């Protein structure tokens, strides 16, 4: 099967061609416009998708060496995401499918983040445990098969990526702050202790972190002028350490609870170097087999949508032209 996949859930317009589960092309147009606003502006995001979608698909087809007539099915992200952004991808996919008289495949964005591991080798064997850490979600998922995914833990407030971004905002770092904190933290030491409430079980809570950072920085500012500027590296290392320690503690608990030792990382935050390193160390200590996708497949991308759609195509799971995007799934 040759599948054209579209992803437009947030601020990246992405198109990919996946043939028999193999990624032939994966093209993403990122929107620079949100940086100056310190976050994604939904209204601007949907307009940029509208401008980018056709050129992005054209490049994806060209790079794959495929013409529209070779495409067997069109896949798209139905949700979760920004409704105006999703709408652009869904409408494009519907129009393409209608014009070519080929089936439509809807994909759950979070399922796709997990299945990004199947975009290339090494692919985890089922069942495995996946920690999905992205801008909007933090989930512990038991993956029994491609389409049987059970969420056994989740954040009750902010996502891990959000925790990075909001903490960075407090420090005056540009959006998204995750990659910035990653870089700055590499030059510092985690000397500050930020409190992180634990909602118990396998759930996460990150909203208390911001308050803790704010209070600590206010206190330090009274003791030392220009505290943040002088200690930026250590502050970033401490924020990163607080987030990653929580993620790993829950991941270990989930592995013990489920008995699963094949452990995968998914979502944009898995780009974090310290998280990757500590997962590897913890994995070695515990005899885990760990899987971390290449960066290109960690953040939002259409390849993961195409890979997920391939599993659905094989089972003949299609949707009709009356399908509508869903901000929450």
DSSP 9-60: SSSEEEEEEEETTEEEEEEEEE-GGGGGGTS--HHHHHHHHHHHHHHHHHHH
Site for Fe ion in 132-161 (CB under 5 A): 134
Interacting stretch for ligand ATP, rule CB under 6 A, among 29-37, 120-128, 214-222, 263-271?
263-271
Angle, alpha carbons 260-198-129 (nearest 5°): 15
SS3 310: helix
SS3 133: strand
Binding-site member from 3, 5, 6, 10 for ligand ATP (CB under 6 A): 10
Query: Which residues sit in the known binding site for substrate?
Result: 132-136, 165, 178, 182, 272
Query: Which residues sit in the known binding site for Fe cation?
Result: 109, 113, 300
Interacting stretch for ligand ATP, rule CB under 6 A, among 20-28, 178-186, 206-214, 310-318?
178-186
Interacting stretch for ligand ATP, rule CB under 6 A, among 53-61, 161-169, 200-208, 217-225?
161-169
> Choosing among Fe ion, ligand ATP, none, which partner's interface includes residue 231 (Cβ < 5 to 8 Å by kind)?
none
> Choosing among ligand ATP, Fe ion, none, which partner's interface includes residue 161 (Cβ < 5 to 8 Å by kind)?
ligand ATP
Binding of ligand ATP at residue 106 (CB under 6 A)?
no
**Contact string (CB under 6 A) for ligand ATP, positions 22-41, x = contact:** --------------------
> Choosing among Fe ion, ligand ATP, none, which partner's interface includes residue 254 (Cβ < 5 to 8 Å by kind)?
none
Q: How far apart are CA 234 and CA 49, in angstroms?
A: 38
Binding of ligand ATP at residue 300 (CB under 6 A)?
yes
Q: How far apart are CA 302 and CA 7, in angstroms?
A: 5
**Contact string (CB under 6 A) for ligand ATP, positions 114-133, x = contact:** --------------------
Site for Fe ion in 115-134 (CB under 5 A): 134
Minimal distance in Å, beta carbon 191 to Fe ion? 32
Minimal distance in Å, beta carbon 5 to ligand ATP? 15
Q: Are 76 and 267 in contact (CB under 8 A)?
A: no
Binding of Fe ion at residue 270 (CB under 5 A)?
no
Binding of ligand ATP at residue 182 (CB under 6 A)?
yes
Binding of ligand ATP at residue 76 (CB under 6 A)?
no
DSSP-derived letter for residue 296 is H
DSSP H helix total and E strand total for the chain: 11, 10
> Choosing among ligand ATP, Fe ion, none, which partner's interface includes residue 279 (Cβ < 5 to 8 Å by kind)?
none
Binding-site member from 173, 271, 305, 307 for ligand ATP (CB under 6 A): 271
Q: Are 328 and 83 in contact (CB under 8 A)?
A: no
Continuous segment of H or E residues that includes residue 70: none
Binding of ligand ATP at residue 325 (CB under 6 A)?
no
Beta-sheet strand order (sheet of 22-30): 22-30, 12-19, 2-7, 73-79, 104-108
Q: Are 17 and 2 in contact (CB under 8 A)?
A: yes
DSSP-derived letter for residue 136 is S
Half-sphere exposure in the Cβ direction for 171 (13 Å, CA):
32
Q: Phi, psi (5° rounding) for residue 13? A: -95, 120
Minimal distance in Å, beta carbon 109 to Fe ion? 6
Q: Phi, psi (5° rounding) for residue 136? A: -115, -10
Residues in the site for ligand ATP, rule: CB under 6 A? 9-10, 81, 109, 113, 134-137, 161, 164-165, 176-179, 182, 267-269, 271-272, 299-300
């Amino acid at each position: 099967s040759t599948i054209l996949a579209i992803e437009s859930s947030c601020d990246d317009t992405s198109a990919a061609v996946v043939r028999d589960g193999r990624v032939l092309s994966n093209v993403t147009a990122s929107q620079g416009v949100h940086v100056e606003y310190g976050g994604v502006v939904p209204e601007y995001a949907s307009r940029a998708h509208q401008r980018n979608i056709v050129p992005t698909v054209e490049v994806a087809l060209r790079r794959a060496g495929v013409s529209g007539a070779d495409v067997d099915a069109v896949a798209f992200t139905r949700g979760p995401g920004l409704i105006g952004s999703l709408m652009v991808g869904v409408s494009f996919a519907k129009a393409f499918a209608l014009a070519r008289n080929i089936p439509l495949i809807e994909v759950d964005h979070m399922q796709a983040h997990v299945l990004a591991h199947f975009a290339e080798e090494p692919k985890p064997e089922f069942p495995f445990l996946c920690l999905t850490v992205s801008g909007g979600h933090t989930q512990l998922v038991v993956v029994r098969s491609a389409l049987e995914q059970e969420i056994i833990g989740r954040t009750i407030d902010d996502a891990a990526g959000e925790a990075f971004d909001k903490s960075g905002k407090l420090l005056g770092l540009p959006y998204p702050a995750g990659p910035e904190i990653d870089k700055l933290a590499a030059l510092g030491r985690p000397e500050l202790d930020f409190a992180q409430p634990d909602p118990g079980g396998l759930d996460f809570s990150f909203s208390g972190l911001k308050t803790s950072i704010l209070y600590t920085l206010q206190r330090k500012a009274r003791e030392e002028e220009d505290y943040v500027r002088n200690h930026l590296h250590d502050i970033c290392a401490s924020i990163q350490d607080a987030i990653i320690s929580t993620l790993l503690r829950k991941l270990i608990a989930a592995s013990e609870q489920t008995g699963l030792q094949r452990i995968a990382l998914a979502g944009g935050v898995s780009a974090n170097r310290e998280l990757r390193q500590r997962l590897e160390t913890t994995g070695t200590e515990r005899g885990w087999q760990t899987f971390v996708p290449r960066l290109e497949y960690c953040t939002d991308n259409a390849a993961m949508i195409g890979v997920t759609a391939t599993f659905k195509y094989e089972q003949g799971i299609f949707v009709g032209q009356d399908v509508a995007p869903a901000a929450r799934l």
